[in-house]
Each structure stands twice: as C-alpha cells, then as structure tokens.
Structure 1
Amino acid sequence: HGYRVALALILSVTVTNALLAVCPTHTGAPPEEAPHFDLQHYATGDWFGLRNTLYDYGIEITGGYTTEPAGNPVGGIEHGFTYLHNFGFGVMFDLQKITGISDTTFLVTVSQRSGRGLTQDSIGNAISVQQIFGGGQTYRLVQVRMEHKLFDDRLELAYGRLTGTADFLSSPFYCQFVNNGICGQPPAPFFNMPAGITAYPQGTWGGLVQVHTTSKTYAKFAFYDGDPNNGDDVAKHGANFGWGNNGILLMTEVGYKTPDGLWSMPSRYSFGGVVHTGDFPDVARDAFGTNLFVSGLPGREHSGQAGCYLIFEQMFYRNPGRDTGLNGFVTFVLSPDEDKSPIPYYLNGGLIYEGLIPCRPHDKTALGFYSAWFSGRQRSAQKAAGLPSQTNETNIEFNHQIQITPYLYLRPNLQYVIKPNGLNRIANALVLGVETGITF
C-alpha cells in the first residue's frame, strides 16, 4: 500500500498549496439565519424551488457527505491506506407550520457508512484516527426526535430515539479535528461502559430536559436505554425498537456560556456527570477472582458505573472587525474506579484559528491532542501474566481546513500517534489524510 500512502500525501500537499496560493473566490460566511437554499450555500441548490417551498411549509431536508481517506507511511503494526465515507440525511418537520403546534419540531436522521478504518487495519491503536469509522459501516436509522420549546425557550424537552453524546459531552470545536479522540466526543465512556452509551450514528430510546436558568446558564438531564445494542444486529440497521436489559444511562450537565467572559471574549464552562445502573466487567479479575489474562475468562461483573467531565472553551484573540479568531478548548473525563474502567483518565484539547491567512478568512487552522491513560489494575494484571502492559496513548493532530465554498471544504491533516494502544511494542505512527465535506 506504500504507493497509495505516497499518493495521498502528494495530493494533500498539492491541493493545499494550490488553494492557498490565491485568495478565495467566495467571501460570504455560512448563513446564520433560517436556511435559504441556493447554489451558493448548498451543493444541490433549491431543487428548482421545491426545496424552499417545502421549507416554507415546514419541511426542511438536509444532507451531507464526508470522506476521510488516510494512510500511515510510518509506524503502526503495518503500513496501509484506507478509504471510508459517511452520508448523512435528515428531515426536520416544523409542526408549528404544519399543524399549528407552537415551538415543536420532529426530526428524523439516517446515515450510510462504508469503508475500512486505518486504526483497525494497520495501526492497532485504541482510538480511531478516522472519526467516521463505526456504527457497523452500513446504513442506519439514527434519531427520531420530538422536541418542544416552552416558556420563551427557557425549557426544552426532547424524547424518542436519541443519541446521548449529541446532547452531552460535546463541543462545537471537536469536529474541527479528524481523529475520534476529539471529534464526536471524548471516547473514554465508550470503553468504560461498553455497549452502554450511544454516539452518532446510533440512537436509542431516551428523554431530555434542558432549562436555561438565566441568559448565560443552563442545566440539563436525560435518561437513555442502558443497553442500546440489545437486538441491534446489522440486519436491523438501527430499527431495534425494543428496550434493553442492562439498566439505564443517566446524564446531566450544567454550564455557563457568555459572549463577554475572560478578556471580554466568548467563554463556556461545562460540568457533567454520567451514571449507569447496569453491570460491567472487571478489567483484571474473572468471576473466580483470578487473573483474567491468565485464565482467559470474562471479567467478573460489577454493578453500576459512574464518571464526570469538565469542558472549558475560550476565545483568546479576535480578528479586527470580525467575530473570528483564535479559540481553544480543554476536556477532562474521569471515571476513577480502575476495577471496571479501562480508561479512568482522559484529556483532550486544541486550538483553532479561523482566518489565520488574511486573504482566506474562513479557512481554519487547528492543532489538538488527546491522551488516554489505561487502568493501573489492568496494567498490573497484564504484567503478572507476562504480557505487554498498556500505559497511555496520545495523538497529536495538525490540520488546515480549506473552505472552497460555503458548502465544500478540504481538510488535509497530519496525526502522530504515540504508544499506540498504550504499548511500546507498536511503533509510533504517522498518519496522513485528507477529509472532504460537502453540504447538499
């Protein structure tokens, strides 16, 4: 696969240099107001007026395509190259326009994924270097979501088929990055509560309450089926409408968000908690109390799991006369019971500069990282069994998003994975890729 990796690198560098050599042909920012479909902002335009007519009557149809081909010419278990993509589509029904029910919407979203993951095929690290790998690489029903806004939008209610990490443990800055250690959400809860929490493109039954306590503060609480994978085989494609048999997932978050925080610039601080009432396996001991890495038996079951997280977002510099500039974030995730938490400590962070190159005001340049620390009890058990022991995995990513039009971007990216899967025996991996995104 070496020639493919080289080709990906050459293409990435060539396209980047060509686009940065000239100022952009478009200068308009993506629309901030209610959608108005046209060929400037959407690749498929307004469908000869039909799309805008449907929107006026309360039916908004959206879609997009993302692909993240990447290769690792250095390090990993072996060198390789993979292609994968995600098509996402959604229909939002504004029930105020359709039926007269005020401030109520009904959302249905679907996803189609295909391709192979570079982490899974070649590198062998724990957290995917391509965030759109997962969910079965097939087509799926994602969300079926009814939402109400009450009391001048101070109270929000949502219920139906929901995705937990769409409402919690999230940041608008995360998906400026390609790796799954940042984009989407910090993945530690998915290791610590296997099959107990959902992320796109998987939905499950749930309900959400959010209260805007002041203009700058909020609190929200939600419950979800704690066993969303129950009966969810590939043939059902997300339409497994039964309830699982491994407890309930509870999530809560409080936050403070202001446009004039530190240095009179936008700030956001969020603190959240996660509690799962189901059963989860021990990371080191089997049901007989012996080392599971020796016996080969499953870990003994523990009742319940819990964790918390902290998100800090801050703008550090504003471009003169614009709302863009340098933003940063840090996220810390804690699940301290090392008996049942494979990744008890997790940290990520990043800096994103929009408009670093003056003649390309909507391009974004980003530098970010994550570090995942594996359980000390698991490490001790691995050592006792004479196996390589997992310590921590770190990924550093640099990328530049080239905003070609409001609906099309390229994001050449470089990642360096340090101690893949927390193991010294896997060589540090250099990853080269190009993400492409199109809004239909």
Structure 2
Amino acid sequence: MYQPWGDLLKKWNKKGIGLVFDYTSESALALDGGNAGDAGYAHQIGAELDIDWERLIGWKGFRSHAVVVNRAGHNMATDFGDRSLNGFQEIYGGGGNVGVKLVYVYGTQDLLGGRVQIAFGKMSVNTDFSASPLYCTFMNKSICGNPKSLTRGDSGFGTYPGSTYGTRVRVWPLHGVYAQFGLYGTNPDLSSNAYDRSGWNFSTNRYTGMYIPVEVGLIPSFGPHNLVGHYKLGVAYDTANYADNLYDVDGGFLALTHRSARQDNGKTQLWIEGDQMLVRNGSGPLHGLYVMAGLVRNTPQSSPYLYQYYAGFVDRGPVPWRPKDTFGIIMTRATASPDLVATQRIDYALGKKLPANATYPQSHLTVLEVSYNIHACEGLSIQPDFQRIMRPNLQRNKASIDALGLKIHAVF
C-alpha cells in the first residue's frame, strides 16, 4: 500500500472512519463442454465506508456502513445456455455492467452492552442471514455469498449487491449463542431494468410483500487449541404472491391450458448450515482446516429449486510457510422443483417451448470446485481455480463443462 495513503487511513481509523477500495477480477476459460476455448472476464471495483460514530462524535454503540461498486465484464455461463444459479464468475452476478451501483447503506445500534444489536436501512439479507466467511473461498456463484438457491428460490432474499429496506434484530443470550430475526421488503425486480439496476432507486413502488427470516446459531469452541465452529438453523416466510409452477388460475395444468398461472400466497425457505475447525494452523481466529456442509429447501410449488446441498473443506494456512494462503474444495448440488419439472415434461412431449430457459426437462446441477488462494503480498491475492459443472442449467442433455479460473483481489 502506498505509504502516505496508508498513514492517512490509520489516522482516519483512529477517529472511527474506515475507508477501503478494492479491485476483484475473475476470469474463466472453458476446456470442453462443446465450446472449448470460450473465455470470460468480469471485475468489480468497490468502495466501502464504515463509520464508528462513538469514536467520531460520541454516539455510543452506533455504526454506519455503505458500499458502492462498479461491475463489468461477461458471464461465461450464459455462453453455454446456463442461466441457473451456477456461474463461473460470481463477481458478475446481481446486475453487471453498472457504472456506480449502490449496494447498501445502513446503520447498527448496540444495546445492553452489546448483547442486543439493531440494524436498519437499505440492506442485503445475506449480510446477516445464511452468512459465512468461508463461502467466498470459492469463485462459483452457486455458493459464494450464500447458497444461491435461497436468492433464486425467493426474490425476497435480496443478496449482495442488491438491497431493500429492512431491519434486523440480533440477541446474544449466552456466550456463543445468538438469535436474530429481520423484516425486509420483497422486490421481485431488484437489480433489473424494471426497477433500478444501479441501486439508487429508493422508492418502494415495486415491492410486493415482506420477507421475514429467523435464524438461531451456535459458535462453540473446543479444546485447548480453540477449534471454533459455526452452526445455524434458519427459516423464512415471504408474504408476497408467486406464480405456481404447475397449475393455472382454475386448477388446470399450465402446460395444457396455457392460461395464467395460479398465484400462490406466501413462500417458505429453510436452511441448515455449519462448519467446524478440525485443526488449527496458527493464532489467527479463522486459521485452520474446516469441514463445512449445508442444506437449503424451497417451496416447490412456486420456486425453481427444491433443494440445494453442499459439502467441502477449507484450509486457511495449509502450510506453515504460507500462513495466509487458503485451499478449498467443495461440491454443491441443486435439484429442480418437481412441479416445475412436471410442467416442462408436458411441454417437451408436446414440442413446445419450456419455461425456465430450459431446452430439456430439468433435473439437477452439480458443481465441483477446487481453489487455492495465494497471498502474494500485503493487499494482493492471486487465486487459480478449477470448476467442473455437471448438467449445466440442470439438463442431462448438456455436456459437462470443465473450466479453469483465475481470481485477483487487490485492496488499497
């Protein structure tokens, strides 16, 4: 980091002002899958401002957070007709090719000595719910940020870089035990041209309901080496109406009647997630070998996905002489809603165009990813990556894709 700039940041930090600029690029090259040699590049340039108002003006326990980004490039997955939750370059998701996108702006207020915290503002749901620092060890969009069947399964689960008005209350009744619940606006057109891809639209004219998540979690620590774990159970209900995957307004099959879809009131999601450090690699709070796994379930009547589940390992500091490197391997699978598949099968048999951008009845998608993040120097990491996508777009008639990736992250 440029020394005068670094010194200035340190002075601001002492006053409670944190400012970070960063650049992330993700490039991918297809090795096969019927389109060998295809490549894609995407990047994000971000700016984050965090203010501790207690340090700045004496407002005890209050902090504010704001992020803007520039995203541009090309999503290689679309070249293979894959518009599912899979994406070789997660950094492009959520509305690419936007000059300056407002991600979020919100505040948090600590109460009762930090045992209670209230957040309010324009926020992303995945900032707090179904969140893990291990997810973005990986480059594929299906897992980075959060398991993406939550976002694709319910538009109320607004995910970074999108946000809606909301509030979240978190309580720590015991050390290592928390409970939290939230209220967020449901905006089915978030990050689209119908609303505002840039994030600067502060109106609620496209909101259709309220997304209400609840999550409880445990953060235990075992043994003399402080082997930390993170375990969480979450459930959410969305009050908005959603189109049924199978039935029309009169209870007939959509694929046969071609009438308007029945509107189902409400949608429910469930997630069970956890990670556990097995071996500690150093004194850093998260440095060690982790095993991680999780399961997500969506309402099949009105969601494109029924289940997503994943399992993997993350090793931070895998070798003693590379304490800031990270190795990761993960497998994630998403299964299509059986109601949606039933409609697709009828359409396919009749020779008609299928819903959900499919050209064949969908089933499941499996992503295997292996990644190694190299800490090149202070503020710079270089991450080679390998991905194998089985049944792209959840279709068995599509060939598997092997791809090489490269992620570069610089912090200023």
Aligned with residue 293 of structure 2, among 330, 349, 365: 330
Name the structure with the higher strand share: 2
Match of 1:385 among 322, 347, 352: 347
Q: Hey, what does 1:121 align to over in structure 2?
A: 79
> Is 394-403 or 377-386 further displaced after alignment?
377-386
Distance 1:303 1:77 in 2: 42
Matching residue within 420, 426, 430 for 2:392: 420
8 A Cα contact 1:80 1:122, kept in partner: no
Q: Given that residues 162 and 190 in structure 2 are in contact (C-alpha distance below 8 angstroms), is that contact kept between their aligned partners in structure 1?
A: no
1:182 and 2:143 matched = yes
CA contact (8 A) 1:143 1:161 kept: yes
User: Any unmatched runs of 5+ in structure 1?
Assistant: 1-38
Name whichever of 430-439 and 71-80 sits farther off. Answer: 71-80
TM-score normalised to structure 2 length: 0.90
Q: 1:196 to 1:298 in 2, by over 3 A?
A: farther
1:404 aligns with 2:404: no
What is the CA deviation profile of residues 85-144 of structure 1, one whole-angstrom value per residue up to 9, with x for unaligned ones? 011111112211222111211112111100010111235252212111222211211111
Corresponding residue for residue 134 of structure 1: 93
Whether 1:209 and 2:169 are equivalent positions in the alignment is yes
Is 2:124 aligned against 1:163? yes
Q: Secondary structure at the match of 1:385?
A: helix
Deviations 1:364-400 (A, max 9, x none): 1111011001111222222222252111100000011
After TM superposition, the structure 1 = structure 2 runs for residues 13-28 of structure 1, keeping only pairs within 5 Å, are none
Q: Give the match for residue 49 of structure 1.
A: 7
Structure 1 residue 433 and structure 2 residue 405: aligned? yes
| Structure 1 segment 324-403 matched on structure 2, within 5 A | 324-335=287-298, 337-386=299-348, 388-403=360-375
Conserved 8 A contact 1:77-1:427: no
Bigger shift: 399-408 or 237-246? 237-246
Of structures 1 and 2, the one scoring higher in RCO (CA 8 A, sep 6+) is 1
CA distance in 2, matches of 1:393, 1:268: 27
* Partners of 2:71 and 2:327 in 1: CA distance: 27
CA contact (8 A) 1:277 1:304 kept: yes
> Helix, strand or coil: the match of 2:151?
helix
Alignment check: 8 A CA contact 1:72 1:123 kept? no
CA contact (8 A) 2:294 2:311 kept: yes
Do the aligned partners of residues 110 and 228 (structure 1) sit closer, same or farther apart at CA in structure 2, a change above 3 Å counting?
farther
1:183 partner letter: C
**RMSD, aligned CA:** 2.3
Match for 2:243 among 268, 281, 284?
281
Letter in 1 for 2:189: N
Aligned residue identity for 2:300:
E
CA distance in 1, matches of 2:232, 2:304: 24
Q: Helix, strand or coil: the match of 2:5?
A: coil
- Do the aligned residues in 2 keep the contact of 1:257 with 1:266 (CA within 8 Å)? yes
Residues 197 and 228 in structure 1, CA contact (< 8 A), matched pair in contact too: no
In the alignment, the residues of structure 1 paired with residue 254 and residue 3 of structure 2 have an alpha-carbon distance, to the nearest angstrom, of 57
Question: Is residue 290 of structure 2 the alignment partner of residue 317 of structure 1?
Answer: no
Distance in 1 (alpha carbons) for counterparts of 2:142 and 2:372: 18
Q: CA deviation at 1:45?
A: 4.5
Give the direction of change, closer, same or farther, for the CA distance of 1:89–1:394 in structure 2 (3 Å limit): same
Q: Secondary structure at the match of 1:135?
A: coil
Encode CA deviations 1:154-200: one digit per residue, 9 max, x unaligned.
1111101111111101111101000011111111122222x322111
Equivalent residues of 2:190, 2:197 under 8 A apart: no
Distance 1:273 1:146 in 2: 24
- Which sits farther off after the overlay, 385-394 or 48-57? 48-57
Are 1:249 and 2:221 counterparts? no
Alpha carbons 2:281, 2:320 under 8 Å: kept: no
Count of residue pairs the alignment pairs up: 396
How far is 1:293 from its partner?
Answer: 4.3
> Match for residue 352 of structure 2?
none
* 1:69 and 2:21 are equivalent in the alignment: no
Distance 1:91 1:230, change over 3 A: closer
% identical aligned pairs: 26
Structure 2 unaligned segments of length 5 or more: list them.
350-359
The 2-side partners of 1:46 and 1:149 are apart by 34
Structure 1 equivalent of residue 160 of structure 2: 200
Distance 1:177 1:377, change over 3 A: same
* Residues 426 and 315 of structure 1: CA distance in aligned 2, closer, same or farther (over 3 Å): same
Q: Distance in 2 between matches of 1:230 and 1:353?
A: 35
Superposed CA offset, 1:219-268 (max 9, x none):
01110111263696376621111124311011111011022279962122
Q: C-alpha displacement at 1:401, in angstroms? A: 0.8
- Aligned partner of 2:45 in structure 1 is 87
Question: How does the TM-score come out when normalised to structure 1?
Answer: 0.84
DSSP-derived class of the 1:112 partner: strand
Q: State the Cα distance separating 1:346 from its structure 2 match.
A: 0.9
User: Equivalent residue of 1:75, what SS?
Assistant: coil
Q: C-alpha distance in 2, partners of 1:189/1:231?
A: 16
**C-alpha contact 2:282 2:317 (8 A) present in aligned 1:** no
